[in-house]
């Protein structure tokens, strides 16, 4: 486990390159900073600054080494590295509200983008015209799309939204891929088909995550609940309402184990063993001893900046001193994640070990 500080600005989202030697983070503004590991330090090597609004999503495709970014300016860019410089290509996403999240598909031949326009743009590259096009999934979405995750088959797409719903759609684009085979979620998959619609999840659905096999879907909502839909068991949903503060990010780290984090400022482990068997395992933070020392003028203002209080004894006994905004896999595949990272509103990034 290791902690790194990227300054005082909150970190809204982050993503890793293929070999985890570089990380792209957005300090809650319209730029993306790319850092490279140099010994024990992270050194800034690139700045992506094409957006005019706050960055809301970043994803780095491991094989093609392309970065996709989206922002509140209603735009998305695909970035490619040419001669040591990241070059942006504008994507025709065709939305009239802020983009909120973005995710490459497993085969990296398309990506999905959620927005406040009550739709999902599924974007793919058209060779003929040398540009990125988008198709819209609008069916039944009644509010802002807050989170997305791809099924391992590269076709199904899970989405959580502010209408208290969690859904699974088909994102099959016949122009660029072969007809998909059946899954536990359904067999008919024309573009935009709704294969799961879970109503009244208890609040905004902040994050969604497919299990390694794609047979389960986990999500967290603003009423402090975590839920799992089991495609192999007739899409039965098991919901657990916790006594934690609301969770903002969820990650399936094996076929049964789930990690989530949010306003509690530390990750928690949950275990799913089948319908009706979803339980809280433990908090994964290592409590630290808050130092009771005299506060310098610099620390006084730093505390004001970071925690909106100048009290030196207001330190939380968690590594993160403010809400965790996003979790990412660092090492191991989804069947057995060995390390994962978290970024938070306190400007820090922590790499955690997960012990199976």
Q: What is the pLDDT of residue 148?
A: 98
CATH number of 2-353: 2.130.10.10
Query: If DSSP codes are grouped into helix, strand and coil, which group holds residue 345?
Result: coil
Closest CA to 80 of 90, 88, 71: 88
Q: What is the pLDDT of residue 287?
A: 64
Domain positions in the chain are 2-353
Cβ atoms < 10 Å from Cβ of 21: 11
The predicted model gives 20-36 an average pLDDT of 96
Question: Computed over its alpha carbons, how large is the radius of gyration of the chain?
Answer: 20
The predicted model gives 109-128 an average pLDDT of 96
**pTM (predicted TM-score):** 0.91
Closest CA to 293 of 270, 315, 268, 319: 315
Indicate the average pLDDT of the chain.
93
Number of alpha helices (DSSP H) and beta strands (DSSP E) in the chain: 1, 28
Query: Per-residue confidence at 130, pLDDT binned at 50, 70, 90?
Result: confident
The predicted model gives 85-96 an average pLDDT of 95
Q: How far apart are CA 249 and CA 354, in angstroms?
A: 16
- Would you say 209 and 157 are in contact if contact means Cβ atoms under 8 Å apart? no
Residue-wise burial string across 127-144, b where 16 or more C-beta atoms lie within 10 A, e elsewhere: eeeeebbbbbbeeebeeb
- Would you say 172 and 180 are in contact if contact means Cβ atoms under 8 Å apart? yes
pLDDT at 232 over 70: yes
Looking up tokens 């942006």 gives: 88
Q: How far apart are CA 109 and CA 172, in angstroms?
A: 11
Q: What is the pLDDT of residue 310?
A: 60
Closest CA to 210 of 334, 100, 330: 334
Q: How many CA atoms lie within 13 A of 268 on its CB side?
A: 24
Structural tokens at position 324: 């965790």
Reported as a single tens digit per residue, the pLDDT across 196-214 is 999 989 999 999 999 999 9
pLDDT at 301 over 80: no
Structural tokens at position 277: 């068997």
For residue 83, what are the CA distances in angstroms to 24, 80, 86, 333?
A: 19, 10, 8, 31
Give burial (CB, 10 Å; 0-12/13-18/19+) of 343. Answer: buried
pLDDT at 298 over 90: no
Closest CA to 262 of 227, 290, 224, 289: 224
Q: What is the pLDDT of residue 20?
A: 95
């Amino acid at each position: 486990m290791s902690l790194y500080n990227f300054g005082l600005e909150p970190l809204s989202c982050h993503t890793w390159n293929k070999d985890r030697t570089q990380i792209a983070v957005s300090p809650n503004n319209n730029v993306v900073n790319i850092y490279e590991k140099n010994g024990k330090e992270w050194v800034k090597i690139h700045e992506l600054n094409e957006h005019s609004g706050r960055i809301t999503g970043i994803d780095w495709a491991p094989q093609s080494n392309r970065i996709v970014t989206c922002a509140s300016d209603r735009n998305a860019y695909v970035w490619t590295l040419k001669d040591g410089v990241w070059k942006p290509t504008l994507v025709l996403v065709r939305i009239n509200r802020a983009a909120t999240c973005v995710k490459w598909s497993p085969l990296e031949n398309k990506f999905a983008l959620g927005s406040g326009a009550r739709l999902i743009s599924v974007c793919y590259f058209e060779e003929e015209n040398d540009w990125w096009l988008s198709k819209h999934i609008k069916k039944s979405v009644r509010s802002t799309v807050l989170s997305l995750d791809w099924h391992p088959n590269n076709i199904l797409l899970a989405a959580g939204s502010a209408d208290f719903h969690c859904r699974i759609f088909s994102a099959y684009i016949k122009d660029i891929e072969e007809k998909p085979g059946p899954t536990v979620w359904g067999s008919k998959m024309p573009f935009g088909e709704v294969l799961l619609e879970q109503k009244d999840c208890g609040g905004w659905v902040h994050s969604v995550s497919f299990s390694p096999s794609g047979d389960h879907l986990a999500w967290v909502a603003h009423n402090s609940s975590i839920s799992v839909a089991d495609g192999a068991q007739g899409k039965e949903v098991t919901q657990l309402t916790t006594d934690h503060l609301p969770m903002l990010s969820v990650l399936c780290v094996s076929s049964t184990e789930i990690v989530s984090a949010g306003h509690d400022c530390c990750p928690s482990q949950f275990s799913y063993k089948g319908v009706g068997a979803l339980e809280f395992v433990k908090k994964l933070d290592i409590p630290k001893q808050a130092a009771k020392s005299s506060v310098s003028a610099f620390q006084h203002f730093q505390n004001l900046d970071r925690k909106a209080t100048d009290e030196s004894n207001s330190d939380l006994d968690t590594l993160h001193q403010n809400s965790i905004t996003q979790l990412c896999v660092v090492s191991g595949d989804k069947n057995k994640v060995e390390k994962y990272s978290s970024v938070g509103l306190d400007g820090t990034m922590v790499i955690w070990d997960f012990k199976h």
